[in-house]
Structure 1
Amino acid sequence: MKRKYLVAAICVAAALASGACSASVSVGDKQVPADKVAAQMSSQLAATVGRAPDDVTCPEGLDAEVGATVVCALTDQGTEYDVTGTVTSVDGDNVKFDVQVADTPN
């Protein structure tokens, strides 16, 4: 029972934080590698709700252009949610993106 509340807390907190969390990473080849996107998503969600999800996995990198998106899989306590990263700004090699967790599990 406690597990479901924690997953719900992650989703609610992520949704309430200005509609999303925000992350920032440096890139060298105009794409944020999938592992860096996943790590930043996990870090931002941990900062929002007090702990990281069990796992975040991204199928591909995130293009370093405003509006680009990638849908990753967030797993916590055995439940999986889509989590979307959307680029909000690019300043040289610094890419900022919002993180939005889906309202319902997969």
Structure 2
Amino acid sequence: MSKVRMTTAVPVLSVVAAGALLAGCSGSVSVGKSEPKVSADKLATTVSEQLAAQTGRPKPHITCPEDLTGKVGSSTRCKLTADDGSTLGVTVTVTSVKGSKVNFDIKADDKASPAAN
């Protein structure tokens, strides 16, 4: 499985998504709060946008069930749902925090789950 590293700056959030199957990557978040936190909706939207930009394909449907807290070791599980209904789990884990910048890794599961019938 390949690993892609890339950092993208966005006013509130920077997230990176890797190739077509989200093999693995790193990203960062900059926020002005005392304890940085990335909302679940913003995280999902940005992962989707970055994946589309990386692959040149339409934005995939990404959902994240909770906010990502800017504390080393904190993580959340997101889900990518493909057009055929199959899903791929994605784990986002905070690796470091420097001031208002939160660095994290994104790692996709090795196998997708088939679409529900």
Q: Give your verdict on TM over 0.5.
A: yes
- Matched position secondary structure for 2:20: helix
RMSD over equivalenced CA pairs, Å: 2.0
Structure 2 spans left out of the alignment, 5+ residues: 1-18
2:43 aligned residue: 37
Give the Cα separation in 2 of the matches to 1:97 and 1:51: 24
Which stretches of structure 1, 4 residues or longer, exceed 4 Å deviation after superposition?
none
Q: Structure 1: any 5+ residue segments left out of the alignment?
A: 1-8
TM-score, structure 2 as length reference = 0.66
Any idea what the Cα deviations from partners look like across 1:85-105, whole Å, max 9, x if unmatched?
A: 011221212112111111112
Of 45, 56, 76, 1:70 maps to 76
Query: 1:23 maps to what in 2?
Result: 27
Question: Which structure's residues are more often strand, by fraction?
Answer: 1
The answer to whether the 8 A contact 1:23-1:40 is kept is: no
CA contact (8 A) 1:23 1:44 kept: no
- Percent of aligned positions that are identical: 46
Higher helix share: 1
Please, what TM-score do these two structures have when normalized by structure 1? 0.72
Q: Residue in 2 aligned with 1:103?
A: 110
| Residues 70 and 98 of structure 1: CA distance in aligned 2, closer, same or farther (over 3 Å) | same
Give the total of aligned pairs: 92
